[in-house]
Amino acid sequence: MIDPHSTTLLSAVLFCLGILGVFVRRNVISVLLSLELMLSAAVLALVSFDSTSAAIGSTVDPTAGQGLAVLVLTLVTAQTIVGLGLLIAARRTGAPLDPEHAGTAQW
């Protein structure tokens, strides 16, 4: 079995890389992808804790972590579709695509 500390560390590193991407990139698509990377890190943590609790014989429902992971994946998909939809709408209305000027957009 994989050491749960390793998967938690990987999850934390991925989350930090996602935060770095959000702050470093100016491109809206890359910012959205960085947010997804952060949520994927959360999915990894959930699955890791789930498999760990199953391995140590915890009384917690063994399917809870994976169920939550599926829920997070669904939420990430919804977030992606809404974000990309807003991006296309911004393009059509001529609103700025730069995230720093998104607050000044007239919809």
Partner 1 sequence: MTGLSILFSLHCVVICTAALVGIFTTRGVRTSISCFLLAMSSLAGVFVLLGAHAIAIAQLFFCAGIGLAYFFVAEVLDAAGDGPGRDSKSPRPHSWQWLIIMLGIAGATTMGDLLFGLLSADAPTHSPGVASSTRVLADATGQGSFAAVANTVLVEQGIALIGVGLLLLTALVGGGYLGRRGLD
Binds partner 1 (CB under 8 A): choice among 5, 71, 75, 77: 77
The count of residues in the chain is 107
Nearest to 18 by CA among 30, 42, 34, 41: 34
Q: How far apart are CA 16 and CA 22, in angstroms?
A: 10
Binds partner 1 (CB under 8 A): choice among 5, 8, 12, 34: 34
**Does residue 91 bind partner 1 (CB under 8 A)?**
yes
Binds partner 1 (CB under 8 A): choice among 5, 8, 12, 13: 13
Nearest to 81 by CA among 32, 39, 17, 42: 32
Closer Cβ to partner 1, 36 or 103, answer by number: 36
DSSP assignment of 10-51: HHHHHHHHHHHHHHH---HHHHHHHHHHHHHHHHHHHHHHHH
- Residues lying near partner 1 in the complex (CB under 8 A) are found at 1-3, 6-7, 10, 13-14, 17-18, 20-21, 24-25, 27-30, 33-34, 36-37, 40, 43-44, 47-48, 50-51, 54-55, 62-63, 66-67, 69-70, 73, 76-77, 80-81, 84, 87-88, 91, 97
